[in-house]
């Protein structure tokens, strides 16, 4: 068994033909660039691209395969440069009859199955070329369609007010899914404004494996959240076993932002974007402008629907490490980041292995101290909300 760093939620912005797949994203967010960034600068061993439902992305996949850059593994997933495994995924929007829409990730082991799944979903999705399109069906129906394809199904950014299952659709998954559909869910993605201590206040989630991912809309955001998996090899099948906690495979740790750094952590006004990072949530009207257009923050939403005031972690729950990407840390700008990567190879190496003395030699004492504090979860934080990320502040 070995350990592998994995980010399962990265978007493709632009195809190599120059057509948009995901708006708004960076034009540099091509499949080719994602693979290079994830392998070289970030130091991941597994990356999930969640727009492979689009024929544009599959065309780019075919191009890279023809160049010999992507090779199918016998257990599913594609090897890139013998350093990184690409998992093919799709982010699909569903809508519940009683209101609310949510995103779900569907991963498949190879491009043939993804093409077949895309053909099936094109009967329900009006623009199959674009990312995260509405399938005009409830989640239960999507699960029933995807499961026979051998899909690995993940509830995406579960608590966010925009397209999160708990954030915008339901207080309980069991209210909209039957037992068979619940059993087909491979994992629950926590999203940038929640961690396992918040999520484990909800009893029905105790049986699920948690993952946390970047939901990257630009190259620099890849691996801002990620996971450590214990696997026999970096393949689709091994990841499926890890999510199911079978054959000795497991998600060994989650690495993510402190929830206060998430942009939907606290309740805010959808009219004027007002929120109070330290104050009590408001429920009826904005104290600044009086608008009733209130968007419930993740922290406050979980507080509303939680079974318990404190988390009850099941025995299988791995540690959740509060950690921030280098680009979030005050004093670590583009030049400092380039120096770190030139000296130490990848962001994963800097965040997990490089000691303080070596950091000081490359970027100086002040920046090194900020990196050490941030990666240890000891930096002071001002909470985020209203679409604005929280910030690290000086102690």
Distance CA 154, CA 84 (A): 21
Q: What is the pLDDT of residue 183?
A: 97
Residues 6+ apart with CB under 8 A from 81: 35, 39, 69
CATH topology of domain 325-376: DNA polymerase; domain 1 (1.10.150)
The overall average pLDDT reported for the chain is: 93
Q: What is the pLDDT of residue 273?
A: 81
- Model confidence pLDDT, tens digit, residues 5-53: 999 999 999 999 999 999 888 999 999 999 999 999 999 999 999 999 9
Q: What is the pLDDT of residue 31?
A: 98
Mean pLDDT value across residues 222-249: 97
Please state, in angstroms and as integers, the Cα–Cα distance from residue 320 to each residue in 73, 243, 258, 311, 371, following that order: 30, 16, 10, 13, 18
- Model confidence pLDDT, tens digit, residues 237-293: 999 999 999 999 999 999 998 888 888 888 888 888 888 777 667 878 888 898 988
The helix (H) or strand (E) run that includes residue 142 is helix 139-146
Distance CA 317, CA 210 (A): 8
Distance CA 75, CA 240 (A): 10
Q: What is the pLDDT of residue 261?
A: 85
Q: What is the pLDDT of residue 327?
A: 82
Residues 6+ apart with CB under 8 A from 143: 153, 177, 181, 184, 185
Distance CA 225, CA 328 (A): 12
CATH topology of domain 2-260: TIM Barrel (3.20.20)
The helix (H) or strand (E) run that includes residue 94 is strand 84-95
- Report the DSSP beta bridge partners of residue 118: none
Q: What value, to the nearest 5°, has the Cα angle with vertex 245 and ends 227 and 180?
A: 110
Sign of torsion, CA 42 45 46 49? positive
Q: What is the pLDDT of residue 279?
A: 66
88 confidence band (pLDDT: 50, 70, 90) = very high
Residues 6+ apart with CB under 8 A from 145: 120, 121
Name the token pair of 130. 């674009």
- CB-hemisphere CA count at 13 Å for 15? 20
Distance CA 375, CA 352 (A): 8
Please state, in angstroms and as integers, the Cα–Cα distance from residue 305 to each residue in 166, 198, 275, 286, 300, following that order: 9, 11, 21, 22, 9
355 confidence band (pLDDT: 50, 70, 90) = very high
- Report the DSSP beta bridge partners of residue 89: 107
| pTM value > 0.85 | yes
Where do the CATH 3.20.20.140 domains begin and end in the chain? Answer: 2-260
- Model confidence pLDDT, tens digit, residues 149-206: 999 999 999 999 989 999 999 999 999 999 999 999 999 999 888 999 999 999 999 9
Distance CA 192, CA 212 (A): 8
- Report the DSSP beta bridge partners of residue 229: 4, 251
Where do the CATH 1.10.150 domains begin and end in the chain? Answer: 325-376
- Model confidence pLDDT, tens digit, residues 118-151: 999 999 999 999 999 999 999 999 999 999 999 9
């Amino acid at each position: 068994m070995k350990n592998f760093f994995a980010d399962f939620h990265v978007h493709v912005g632009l195809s190599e033909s120059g057509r948009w797949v995901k708006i708004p994203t960076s034009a540099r967010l091509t499949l080719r660039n994602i693979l290079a960034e994830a392998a070289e600068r970030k130091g991941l061993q597994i990356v999930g691209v969640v727009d492979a439902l689009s024929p544009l992305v599959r065309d780019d996949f075919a191009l890279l395969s023809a160049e010999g850059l992507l090779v199918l593994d016998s257990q599913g997933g594609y090897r890139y440069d013998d350093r990184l495994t690409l998992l093919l995924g799709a982010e699909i929007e569903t809508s519940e009859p009683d209101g609310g829409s949510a995103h779900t990730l569907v991963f498949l082991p190879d491009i043939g199955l993804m093409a077949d799944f895309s053909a099936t979903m094109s009967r329900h999705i009006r623009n199959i070329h674009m990312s995260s399109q509405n399938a005009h069906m409830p989640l239960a129906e999507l699960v029933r369609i995807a499961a026979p394809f051998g899909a690995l199904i993940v509830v995406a950014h579960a608590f966010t007010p925009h397209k999160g299952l708990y954030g915008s659709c339901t207080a309980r998954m069991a209210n909209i899914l039957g037992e068979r559909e619940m059993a087909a869910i491979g994992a629950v993605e926590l999203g940038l404004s929640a961690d396992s201590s918040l999520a484990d206040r909800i009893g029905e989630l105790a049986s699920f494996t948690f993952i946390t991912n970047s939901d990257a809309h630009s190259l620099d955001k890849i691996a801002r959240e990620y996971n450590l998996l214990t696997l026999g090899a970096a393949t689709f099948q091994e990841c499926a076993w890890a999510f199911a906690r079978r054959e000795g495979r497991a998600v060994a740790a989650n690495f993510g932002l402190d929830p206060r750094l998430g942009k939907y952590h606290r309740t805010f006004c959808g009219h004027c974007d007002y929120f109070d990072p330290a104050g009590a949530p408001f429920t009826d009207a904005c104290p600044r402008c009086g608008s009733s257009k209130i968007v419930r923050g993740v922290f406050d939403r979980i507080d509303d629907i939680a079974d318990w005031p404190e988390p009850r972690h099941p025995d299988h729950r791995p540690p959740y490490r509060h950690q921030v990407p280098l680009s979030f840390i005050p004093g670590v700008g583009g030049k400092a980041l380039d120096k770190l990567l030139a000296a130490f190879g990848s962001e994963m190496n800097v965040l997990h292995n490089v000691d303080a003395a070596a950091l000081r030699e490359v970027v100086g004492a002040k920046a090194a101290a900020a990196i050490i504090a941030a990666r240890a979860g000891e930096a002071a934080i001002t909470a985020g909300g209203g679409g604005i990320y929280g910030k690290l502040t000086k102690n």
